[in-house]
Amino acid sequence: MKSRERRWWRGRFGVYIGVILIILTVLFVLDYQGKYFAPSGGISDSLSLPTPSFDWHDKRNWQANLSVGMTQAKVRQIFGEPEKVKVSHL
């Protein structure tokens, strides 16, 4: 009885590992396509991101356009998407 049970678990284990590998492969391919392939034409201009209103490099724009309590969405609307994000843990 033990050998029958062992064969059953070995068979199931192989199936589980196979399914996990397939899922990981699909996720990797989707992630790779999202990073390295630009969307093809056919997307209307209304769906494209708006161009930033001000240059974030000029610090005078910071003082004139930023205020305490602004949302990230509002800041991104004014200055555009960030080129780089740095996260530090205290």
Three-class DSSP labels, 15-65: HHHHHHHHHHHHHHHHHHHHHHCCCCCCCCHHHCCCCCCCCCCCHHHHHHH
Q: What is the pTM of this model?
A: 0.37
What does the pLDDT read at residue 59? 80
Task: Name residues whose C-beta falls within 8 Å of residue 51's C-beta, 6 or more positions apart in sequence.
Answer: 80
What does the pLDDT read at residue 27? 83
Nearest in space to 65 (alpha carbons), one of 78, 50, 77, 76? 78
What does the pLDDT read at residue 45? 47
What does the pLDDT read at residue 71? 87
**Mean pLDDT in runs of 10 for the chain (90 residues)?**
72 84 85 64 52 74 83 84 80
Cα 18 to Cα 13, 14, 73, distances in angstroms = 9, 6, 42
Q: In the structure encoding, which two tokens stand for residue 9, read together?
A: 């678990």
What does the pLDDT read at residue 52? 64
